[in-house]
Amino acid sequence: MMLKCCFISRGVMPLDDLRGKRGIIMDNQRRNRVKQRLRIRLGILHMIHMPILNTLLVPIVILEVAIWKVKDKVFAMIDIPKSFFQFANFLSIFLQS
C-alpha cells in the first residue's frame, strides 16, 4: 500500500497527520504572531542602539498629538471669506449639471 504525502513548508508530511486547512491556518497565524513579535523587538533594539532617532521621533509624535487636540479650535479661528462660499456654491451647481 502506498502512503500518500502532502508537501508543505515544513517538508513532506503524511496526509493522515495533516490537520486539515484549520491546522495550516493556525500555523500561519502563529508564524505571523512570531514575526510581529520579532518586528517589535527589532524596533525596540533599534531605538535603544540609535538614540538619535529617538530625539527626532519623540518631538514629532508630541507635535502631532498637540495638533490633533487643538485642530478644531484652530479651524474655528480661521475666517473664511464669503467669496469662497459663493465660488463653492457656483462650483457645486456647475458640477451637478
Q: pLDDT of 9-68, one tens digit each?
A: 555 555 545 555 566 667 888 889 999 999 999 988 988 888 887 788 888 889 999 988
Last residue of a domain, which of 10, 33, 49? 49
| Dihedral angle sign, alpha carbons of residues 3, 7, 8, 10 | positive
Domain count, the chain: 2
Do 13 and 23 lie in one domain? The reply is yes
Decide if 32 contacts 26 (C-beta within 8 A). no
Do 42 and 55 lie in one domain? The reply is no
State yes or no: pLDDT of 78 exceeds 80.
Answer: no
Do 43 and 30 lie in one domain? The reply is yes
pLDDT category at 1 given cuts 50, 70, 90 is very low
Q: Which three cell numbers stand for residue 5?
A: 504525502
Do 83 and 55 lie in one domain? The reply is yes
Domain that holds residue 40: 1-49
Do 67 and 96 lie in one domain? The reply is yes
3-class secondary-structure state, position 97: coil
